[in-house]
Structure 1
Amino acid sequence: MVSAYAELEEDMRRRLGGRECLYVPSCRLGLYLALRHFCPRGGRVLMSPVNDDVILFVVLAAGLRPVQAPLDPRDGSIDPAAVPGSVWRGLSAVLTTNLYGNPDPAPDLRARCDLLGIPLIEDAAHAIGSTTGGRPVGTYGEAAVFSLSKHTGAKTGGFLALADPSLRADLTRARDALLHPARTASELAYLLRPGAEAAVRHLRLTGAARAALRALGREEREEIRMPLRADALARALPAAPALAPFHSWIRVDMHDYRIRPGAARLRRTRARLARLDTVLAAHREGTARLLESEYGPGGGPAQPLFRVPLLVEDRDAAVAALARHRITVGYLYDPPLDTYAGGAFTDPSPAPAAAARFARHALPVDPRRAARALTALRSAGIPPALPATAPGGAR
């Protein structure tokens, strides 16, 4: 088992220029480990309001207070210049998002964190292969987390990357203390899932399959956001930092997020990771095509985005147009987290309009489906969203 971890870790270490990497069964568990290690209980963490709700619950489970950041309306990245000085001075850490693989301004955030003496933690779940400032995303912070469920399609596993390799032993012990033993039923379901999903796609039974998953308790989202259950969440807060009281929120979409992987799962993960460079090349090519379309901002070298957030005036109509061409849209984050969670569970953004606009108009498209997606949108007459105003009033 140790040798299997080591092979995966060495591959990721090479991609990050030698940065220490620790295998974790999920990105969300890796993020919990990082937040617990680097942030004091009760600390305040700046994060993006256009993010998966699971991440909000991970921050709360770590005993921390989420603080929602202003965003650049053009791409959904954190806008450091719009964060008031009073907010900066009250922070214990900054958590990037790198939404859909588009980098947050890590060099600027790194400089600000250094001035304040607080850690920068990079959520690079969508951003394997993305770069900023001439360096890979995930090499600016004290810690970074990567997902193997996204570009690799392994649907399991991830990494916690560390700037200080001397922390590896402590964080390995912390990881192992949180892991549950491998389960035969979970491993079998994991191995059978790709074939079942392929059959569903071939037979066009997606709606029926999702209904069946909901009935079995494996599909818990009927809307974009999971139910908040505010009363239950308020009862869980005093128990933080701890995972167990928040398990019903953190497990959503990935019930085995803290289960020790079996040998078959690790073999499939290694095989998927070995093909990553080919996948990244396809994502980069499709990203360039989508960004240069009327729905994208265009310009600049293309990153291998996990999803390309096209900006459309009527997203519901665009989703329906893509569905008619058998293109599924996922990874929507609307409404922003401060609207979703309210002031009881997060500090709202001091400038929420940009996040609300981006969340409403962003249409995340798989870049490997670029040609088909553009054909579907154009044939349906879907108009692009009006240009957003950049920070500072520039266009």
Structure 2
Amino acid sequence: MVSAYAELEGRMRDRLGGRECLYVPSCRFGLYLALRHWCEPGGRVLMSPVNDDVIFFVVLAAGLRPVQAPLDPLDGSIDPAAVPEAVWQGLSAVVTTNLYGNPDPAPELRARCDRLGIPLIEDAAHAIGSTVGGRPVGTYGEASVFSLSKHTAAKTGGFLALADPERREELAAARDALLHPPRRTGELAYLARPYAEAAVRGLRLVRAARATLRLLGAEERAEIRMPLRAGALTRALPAAPALEPFHSWVRVDMHDYRLGPGPGRLRRTTRRLARLDDVLAAHRAGTERLLASEYGTPGNGGVQPLFRVPLLVDDRDGAIAALARSRITTGYLYDPPLDSYAGEAFTDLSPAPEPAARFARHALPVDPRRADEVLAVLRTAGIRPAHLSPTPGGAR
């Protein structure tokens, strides 16, 4: 087990220029470890309101109060210039999102966190191949978390990367204390999942495919956001920090998020990670084509190998329906923003919510490997681009 972890960790360490890496069963699990290690319960954490709701519940499970940040409406990145000084002064940490692989302004956020004496934690689940300021995303924070469920499609695993290697032993012990032991049934289900999904999709049994995903804990949402269940959440909050009271929220779409990996899972993950450079090249090429289209937005520097490219469309529901008719599924939607979803009972509201709301309403996340298919469908269906202006005062 240790040797298998070491091989995966070594490969990721090389990608991050020598930054210490700790294998974790999921990005959300790694983020929980980081928040518990660097933040005292009761602290306030700046985060993006256009984000997976699971991450919101991870912050709550860590005993912290989410604070929703203003965003740039063109790419969904945090807009530091729009965060009021009073908000900065009340923070315990900043958590980036790097939405779809578009980097948050880590150099600016790093400098701000240094002045405040608070940690920067980078959620790089979508950004394993992205760069910012000439460095890989994930090399600015005290900690960063990566997912192997996204670009590598391993459907399991991730990394907690550390700026200070001397913290590794303590965090490894905390990880091991929270892990559930590997289960034979879980291992068999994981190994069978790709074949089951391929079979039902190959037969064009869409409803059966969705039922299979639900059975495997990979799809549990009737809507974009999971039900908040405000009453149950209110009752869970006093028990934080702890994972168990928040398990029903944190596990959504990934029931094995804290399951220790068996040998089969580790072997598949290692093979997938070894092919990552080819995958990133394909994502980068597709991203370039999509951003150059009428639906794309100008980038802040070179083209990134985005996990999903957020095309900006006037009628997103119409675009999703047109793509569905061509058997192209749209996922990774994060609408409405978390402050609208959760309300001020559970989060500090964004001081400038409209840019995030506009981005969330018009962003159509597209797999860049299907760029040409998607553009053909949107143009044939007469889907018009949305023209959003940058945040007033935004410097980027």
Tell me the TM-score normalised to structure 2 length.
Answer: 0.98
Deviation (angstroms), 1:393: 7.2
Number of residue pairs matched by the alignment: 395
Q: How does 1:264-283 map to 2 (within 5 A)?
A: 264-283=264-283
* CA deviation profile, 1:333-386 (whole Å, cap 9, x unmatched): 000000001111100100000000000000000000000000000010000002
Indicate conservation of the 8 Å contact 2:284/2:306, yes or no. yes
**What is the CA–CA distance in structure 2 between the aligned matches of 1:18 and 1:175, rounded to whole Å?**
21
Q: Pick closer, same or farther for the CA change 1:284–1:193 going to 2, 3 Å.
A: same
Within 5 A, what are the aligned runs for 1:89-128? Answer: 89-128=89-128
Aligned twin of 1:320: 321
2: CA distance, partners of 1:158 / 1:334: 25
CA distance in 1 between counterparts of 2:392 and 2:142 reads 27
- Equivalent in the alignment of 2:372: 371
1:291-302 matches, within 5 Å, as 291-298=291-298, 300-302=301-303
What secondary structure sits across from 2:36 in the alignment?
helix
SS in structure 2 opposite 1:392?
A: coil
Change (3 A) 1:216 1:140: closer
Over aligned residue pairs, what C-alpha RMSD do you find?
Answer: 1.4
Deviation at 1:217, TM superposition (A): 6.8
Q: How do 1:76-155 residues align onto structure 2 when only pairs under 5 Å count?
A: 76-155=76-155
CA shift, 1:211, in A, is 3.9
Task: Indicate the percent of aligned positions where both proteins have the same amino acid.
Answer: 81
**Residue 332 of structure 1, CA deviation:** 0.2
Give the superposition deviation at 1:216.
8.0
Q: Residues 332 and 365 of structure 2 are in contact (CA less than 8 Å); yes or no, is this contact kept in structure 1? A: yes
1:385 to 1:218, Cα distance in 2 relative to 1, 3 A: closer
CA change 1:199–1:340 in 2 (3 A) is same
3-state SS of paired residue (2:393): helix
DSSP 3-state at the match of 2:201:
helix
The match for 1:246 is: 246
The amino acid that maps onto 1:259 is: L
Give unmatched runs, 5+ long, in structure 1: none
Name the CA distance, whole Å, in 1 between partners of 2:303 and 2:212: 39
Partner AA of 1:239 in structure 2: A
Distance 2:53 2:19 in 1: 28
- CA change 1:177–1:192 in 2 (3 A) is same
Residues 236 and 279 of structure 1, relative CA distance in 2, 3 Å threshold: same
Equivalent in the alignment of 2:311: 310
- Decide whether aligned partners of structure 1 residues 120 and 356 sit closer, same or farther in structure 2, where only a CA change above 3 A counts: same
Contact 1:72 1:391 in 2 (8 A): no
**Amino acid of the structure 2 residue aligned with 1:326:** R
SS at match of 1:36: helix
Query: Separation in 2 of the partners of 1:394 and 1:326?
Result: 40
Q: Secondary structure at the match of 2:122?
A: strand
Q: Which residue does 1:75 correspond to in 2?
A: 75
Distance (Å, rounded) in 1 between the aligned partners of 2:130 and 2:218 = 31
SS of the equivalent of 2:159 reads strand
Indicate conservation of the 8 Å contact 1:147/1:157, yes or no: yes
Deviation at 1:391, TM superposition (A): 3.5
CA contact (8 A) 2:58 2:250 kept: yes
Distance 1:321 1:377 in 2: 7
Unpaired runs of 5+ residues, structure 2, are none
Paired residue type of 1:176? D
SS in 2 for 1:115: helix
Mapped partners of 1:2, 1:185: distance in 2: 22
| Per-residue deviation, residues 79-118 of structure 1 (Å, max 9, x unmatched) | 0000000000000000000000000000000000000000
Aligned to 2:383: 382
User: 2:189–2:216: 8 Å Cα contact kept in structure 1?
Assistant: no
Name the counterpart of 1:335.
336
1:290-309 C-alpha deviation (Å, 9 max, x unpaired): 00100001354210000000
Q: 1:391 to 1:135 in 2, by over 3 A?
A: farther
Does the CA-based 8 Å contact 2:239-2:245 persist in structure 1? yes
Aligned partner letter, 1:225: R
1:218 deviates by 6.0
Q: Which moved more, 1:129-138 or 1:300-309?
A: 300-309
Give the match for residue 229 of structure 1: 229
Provide the rounded CA distance (Å) in 2 between the counterparts of 1:217 and 1:322: 25
Alpha-carbon distance in 2 for matches of 1:217, 1:307: 22
Using the alignment, how far apart are the partners of 1:244 and 1:281 within structure 2? Answer: 39
Match of 2:358 in 1: 357
Question: 1:182-239, CA deviations, whole angstroms, 9 ceiling, x for partnerless residues?
Answer: 0111111100110111112212222333246547876321000001110000000000
